[in-house]
Structure formats: C-alpha cells, structure tokens
Amino acid sequence: MSRRREWTLEGDGVIDIRRDRAGVPLVRASTHADVLRGLGHCHGVDRAMQLVLTRIIGQGRAAELLDSSDEMLAIDRFFRRINVVGGVESQVETMSARHRALLDAYADGVNGALGAHRPWELRLLRHRPEPWTAADCVLMGRMVGYVGLAQTQGEAERWLVQLLSAGVPVSILDELFGGRIAGFDSTLTDGLRIEEPLVPQEVLAHPAVPAAAASNSWAVAPSRTATRTAMLANDPHLEISRLPAVWYEAQLEGPHGWLAGASMPGAPAILVGRNDALAWGVTYAYADTIDSWVQDCRDGCARREVDGEERWEPFDVREEVIRRRGGEPVRMTFYENRHGTLDGDPHVSGRYLSTRWAGRDCGAASLAAVLELPRAGTASEGGNLLSRLEWAFNWVLADADGSIVHRMSGRLPRRRAGASGLLPLRGWNPADDWQGFHASDDLPRRLDPPEGFIATANEDLNAFGIAKPVSLPGSAYRAQRIAELLGARTDWSIEALGRLQMDTLSTQARRFMTVLAPLLADDERFAAIVRWDGSYDDPAGVAWFEAFYDAAVAAVLTWVGGPQAARYAIAETDLIANFFWLVDDVLLGASGAWAGDEGRDAALRRLAESALGAAPATLRMTMRHLVLGGRAPRWLGFDHGPVRLRGGRATVHQAQLVRIGGRELTVGPSIRLVTDLAQNIIWTSLPGGPSDRRWSRWYTSGVRDWANGRLKAIRRPGTR
C-alpha cells in the first residue's frame, strides 16, 4: 500500500487519498473525523515502524518487545522512572466527547493500516502491534515535550549539581553560567547522593528518540514583502541523520477548509504549516519546566519543616515490573512526592535529588488545542489556541490580513522570588515548592511589532512577557543574524526567504574575530584568517576556527571541572551543543580567569596558533535506518549517504555533529517550510521522504533537494 498513489477508505463517508509527485498525500473527506481518520491511515501506511517503536520506547517496554539487552533495560528503566505513560488514559477521559471522537477516528485510521500490513521489521522482532488508542496520542505528545526538549534544561541543571557536589567553587560556576549562581549556598549539596544521570546515555543514543538542538521561525509583515502580504518561514532543528525523517508531510481538506504542512506520526494534527487563512511555525522555547529538590531522607520518608515543626512525610511508592524477552522480569521501586521522582532509596538515610517535570501529567489540553486549529481564521486566534499547549514552545503566526503574532506555550511553574530555576531547591521548605503555574497570557508574546517581523531562534525572550520563564536560553547568534537580514530589505519573496534559511555566516565566528583579529594582525601566518568574515562557505577559515574553538572549549571546561569532566561533557553529552554560548562569554570575558597567569589575550593567541594548519574538512552525515542503522550491508541501501552539510553550530542553516552514548548523530533543519499568505501554496524540503519502507520510491526521495536547498511546492487543489 505504501506504493499506491490513490486509494479510498470508508468512514462516516468516503475518504479519498491521493499522492502528489513527491509522494505527499492529500486526504479529502466531508467530516473532520474522517479527515483525521485518513491522516491516521497515512501515518500507519507510511510510518508504521516509527509509530510503533516510539510507543514501545515511551511505554518502557523495549526489553519486553524488542530485545532484552542491558541497553534496552536502561531505556525502559528511564521511561518507567519518569513515568511518561502514567495517567494517559485519565487525560483522555477529561476531554470533551467531540475531541475524544476525533482522537478515536485518528486511531481507527492507524489501526486500519496496521491491520492490513505489518512492517517486516516488526515481524523480524516477532512483535504484533497492539491497537493504537487515543491515549497513545497523549503519550506521543509527552515524548515530544520531554525527550530532547525539557530534558535539555534538566541535564544542564543536573550537570551543575554534579559540579557543585564535586566542590567546584560557586564563583567559577557563576562565571560559567553568566551570573546565575551567585549567592547559592553550596552546603545544600554537601553529601548529596547522585545515583544516576537525569537521562541515561542509552536513551539519548537511541534513534527512536530524536535529538533536538534548536530551530528558526520567523514571520514577515506585508510592509517588508514583495507581494505586500504576510509570509512565514520555519525550520525546526532536530536529528536529521536518521531514516525515516522525524516529520511527515500531508495535505488535509475537509469541512474546515485546507491544511498543509508537517505532522508527526502519532499526533492527529498539522503541527507546522498553514490553512486557508493563517500559517504557523514553531521553535523550542528553552523555558524552564523542570526542577530538582534536595530531599533529606530516612526510613522511607522525607523531612519537611512546616510552621517551625519538623515532620517526616512518607513517599508514595510505585512498583514497576519490566519483562525481558527470554529472561527474568526486573522489579523496580520508585518513590514519589510533590517534588517528583526520587533518585534513590529513602530507606537509606541521606540526601537525594527528586525531579519534577511540569508537563508530565498533561496532554488533554494540548490535543484539544491542536484539534481546534483548523477552525482558526486569524493569527491572534491561532496564537490563543497554541498558547494553551502544555509543552514549552514559541509559536510564530502570520495571517491573510497581514497580522503577525508570537505566543509562547507551556505549563510554566511559579517559583518563589529569587529562585533561579537552575539550582536545586530545599525539599523540606514549603517556600521552595511550586506555587502553581503561570497563565498563558503572562508568557512572552508579541503582536504586529513596528519592525515588521518576528523571529525566534531559541534566544532569551523573557523581555516580552510578564512571566520570565527562561532560566537558561539557547544562544542568540542565529536570532541576531536573522534579525539583521530581515531588517535590511522590504521586498522579501519566497525565494529570498528560502535563501535566508540556507545562510551560513556565523555571528559567533564574527564575534570571536572582533577580539582575535587585533591579537593576530601582526603575524603574517594569520593574514587570511584576519580577513575571514565568518562565512562557513570558506573551508580554510572554518577549519582553523573549529580547531581553535575545540581547544578553547576544552580549556574552559578543564578550568571549571578538570580534564576528566571536560572530556566527558564534550564527548558524551549534548550540553555544549545546546549551551556553547556560556563558554563563549567566559572565553571572551574581561576577567580572563580561565587563562590563569597567562592572561586571556596570550591564551587566545596560543590557542589560535595551535589551530594553524588544520585541514579543511567537508561536514557530512550518514543517515541511518531506525532499526538496522549501521548493521545491514551498505549496498542494501537502508543507510543513506554520505550527505554533504552546510553551516555550523551558530549559523542560520545549523549543522552540528553530536556524540552521545557512543552514537554520533547530526542535528539540523528537520524540515524547511516557507509560505506566502497571498497564495495557497507551501514550499518545503524534507531530509528523507514520506515512507519508512526501504524499497519505496519515497524512502529518501527528498534528500538531494534538501541538501541543495531546493524547495518543492505543495499546492492546494486547484491552485496553480
């Protein structure tokens, strides 16, 4: 069926499905339920393997249903510990009858496809999928909202706690974290037992759990476009070195009109795209939705001090059994309280961390919002809907009337005054408990700004809200470059916006050269480097800068935590990929404390000299099959590549190689989308194709155009 170009289904009425030349399906039906039934069927036809594997991972059943290896057991233990699947059925029960019926219709479409054809990979694993349910849609939303997104913040906080526990001076950490640690009482972490990382390497290294780093999204007002209508562009940066691609493109046409864009298998919605009246794009907000508390434990209880009285409150106990294929089941006990799940056994006296994610017990409101999105007719209306999502994103919207809007979404906790969100809190002090959650209208937002554009690229956007939800943002480099270019002209077109998405000038490199060029100007060996403008299209300049930067990052992290901690952070985590700008501020800061007696300028010059002669290298990736990646012979074609990449960590067209848990992955634009509200067309590019079937013509059909920056048109039926 994955090879078909046209077919029909029976639902409330007839559902017509037909593919365009690129294999992108158009689903047409007379009811909203049938439209979603058709989308679910397409997901089941083209992405059954992706759907089923992601659900298995989220349920914590990989050792039971896939293989019983220690790696799978570690993955299961993590997902059981955070309990991402907990309460998904009760979330569905809180939904309205109409929304529940829409989810059931989507699930019915998925099950029709799964029942007709079981992917051979699942037969190889001897797994017959259970029916898809509405609750599975909630699980998919939680997987997206936590793994790769909220966990990024949590990992940075856990790393900080580990450094504090290891005795790294608060003054050094305060410089590394940009003044966010000043005044912390380091005795809070004395004797702290840290049993395990927040997210084990096995989880981040599994290809069914897509990694995330950053994204770009911008809307341009009519005053700055050639057609004098609003335009929107979006390129979410997720893992791109896997097959199939994370996203699934589709067109939907039903009683609420036309929708087109990118969906995510398992979710009954177009998450990035447009309808007849408005377009929307998304970036990760880097908002802080996760905290840890130090718990003082004994005899299965945690200490609390209420009105001057000491109490010992018992934990709730959750028992989990992980079945292992061909092996004995593993029984696990988790301890929970108002501060989340404890990292340890409270019957063994001591101090442990407990961690809570604000979005874990959510899902119903988010699904209700995206189910209503087809009805939205203006950017403000769409923004109001999307702001109700319980996971932290920045949404940028543009409508046919010319309005542009930014809204942040997320269930953002209220903390006591002075609590940074980065540092562990006192589990025994009620003042350190969360004080409810911020109203969506208090989160950062913008409407039709005077500059004529809105751009988000993971930078700190606290200035635009009453609430200040961002504790540790991503870098501002891409946002600076996008704003610089958008503000430079008033004749933006689809073609020009597509070229902007491919821009490879690094404002990070330009910032460094402002400091380095005067230090190197008197040395003829650096003559070409001093003239380098920071473009990542210059192989020689990039080779030198990357070698210099690698050495500089290692120097700062060694100053912070010693050589072993530096090697671990660089080689086995994505901390630097997400928060490299913290190191930049230290390297270029006036204090130069990291350089010791040598002094900042002398140390920078020495590192620059050590990078001379670095050989230019073309950045390439191999795209690996979700199940057989790296295992099947290359000639069978399950893996694809090498594919040439452009840009670097701080360019608009981002490309980063990240090594986590022994797996090397690549993060970059997981889809590119551009649209002009003057026409019912979206222009897209996908690093992959519609199908996860190796023998399908649509397995890697989009890769070449994606690598070369070419966009394809997805047109509303009847549009030229």
Q: Which residues contact 654 (CB under 8 A, 6 or more apart)?
A: 213, 214, 237, 478, 647, 648, 667, 668, 669
Residues 225-239, mean pLDDT to the nearest whole number: 97
d(CA 720, CA 713): 10
Separation of CA 444 from chain center:
19
The string of pLDDT tens digits covering residues 379-423 is 999 999 999 999 999 999 999 999 999 999 999 999 999 898 999
Model confidence at 148, in pLDDT bands (50, 70, 90)? Answer: low
Q: Percent of the chain beyond pLDDT 70? A: 96
Last residue of a domain, one of 357, 382, 409: 357
pLDDT value of residue 469: 95
User: Does residue 597 form part of some domain?
Assistant: yes
The string of pLDDT tens digits covering residues 45-57 is 999 999 999 999 9
- Strand, helix or coil at 517? helix
The string of pLDDT tens digits covering residues 502-517 is 999 999 999 999 999 9
Model confidence at 67, in pLDDT bands (50, 70, 90)? Answer: confident
Instruction: Determine contact, residues 503/481, Cβ cutoff 8 Å.
Output: yes
d(CA 336, CA 294): 13
Using the predicted structure, report yes or no on whether residue 650 has a pLDDT greater than 50. yes
Q: Percent of the chain beyond pLDDT 90? A: 81
User: Does residue 276 form part of some domain?
Assistant: no
Tell me, what CATH number does 317's domain have? 2.30.120.10
What phi and psi, each to the nearest 5 degrees, are found at residue 605? -65, -40
User: Does residue 526 form part of some domain?
Assistant: yes
Choice between 159 and 514, residue whose per-residue pLDDT is larger: 514
What secondary structure letter does DSSP report for 277? S
Model confidence at 426, in pLDDT bands (50, 70, 90)? Answer: very high
Instruction: Determine contact, residues 190/649, Cβ cutoff 8 Å.
Output: no
Q: How many domains does the chain have?
A: 2
Comparing 144-148, 155-159, 384-388, 608-612, the range with the smallest average pLDDT is 144-148
User: Does residue 412 form part of some domain?
Assistant: no
User: Does residue 298 form part of some domain?
Assistant: yes
Separation of CA 198 from chain center:
17
Largest CA-CA distance found in the chain, in angstroms, rounded: 78
Domain containing residue 345 = 142-205+289-357
User: Does residue 277 form part of some domain?
Assistant: no
User: Does residue 88 form part of some domain?
Assistant: no
pLDDT value of residue 196: 61
Report the DSSP pairing between strands 425-426 and 290-298: parallel
Helix (H) or strand (E) holding 120: helix 120-124
Model confidence at 547, in pLDDT bands (50, 70, 90)? Answer: very high
- Look at the block and give the residue holding tokens 């096995």: 202
Model confidence at 198, in pLDDT bands (50, 70, 90)? Answer: very low
The string of pLDDT tens digits covering residues 291-311 is 999 999 999 999 999 999 999
Instruction: Determine contact, residues 284/59, Cβ cutoff 8 Å.
Output: no
User: Does residue 413 form part of some domain?
Assistant: no
Using the predicted structure, report yes or no on whether residue 258 has a pLDDT greater than 70. yes
Last residue of a domain, one of 337, 357, 377: 357
d(CA 511, CA 488): 20
d(CA 684, CA 35): 22
pLDDT value of residue 285: 94
- Please name which of 475, 579, 460, 550 lies closest in space to residue 152, comparing C-alpha atoms: 579
Model confidence at 374, in pLDDT bands (50, 70, 90)? Answer: very high
Last residue of a domain, one of 593, 610, 627: 610
pLDDT value of residue 210: 55
Does residue 642 have a cis peptide bond before it, meaning omega lies within 30 degrees of 0?
yes
pLDDT value of residue 654: 94
Using the predicted structure, report yes or no on whether residue 206 has a pLDDT greater than 90. no
d(CA 720, CA 718): 7
- DSSP one-letter string for 181-247: STT--GGGGTTEE--S-SS-HHHHT-TTS--EEEEEEEEE-GGGBTTSS-EEEEEEEEE-SEES-S-
d(CA 354, CA 369): 31
Residues 216-245, mean pLDDT to the nearest whole number: 96
What phi and psi, each to the nearest 5 degrees, are found at residue 79? -70, -30
CA distances to 40, 173, 297, 555, 595 from 167, rounded to whole Å, are: 52, 11, 22, 19, 20
d(CA 447, CA 304): 45
Tokens of 449: 């700004």
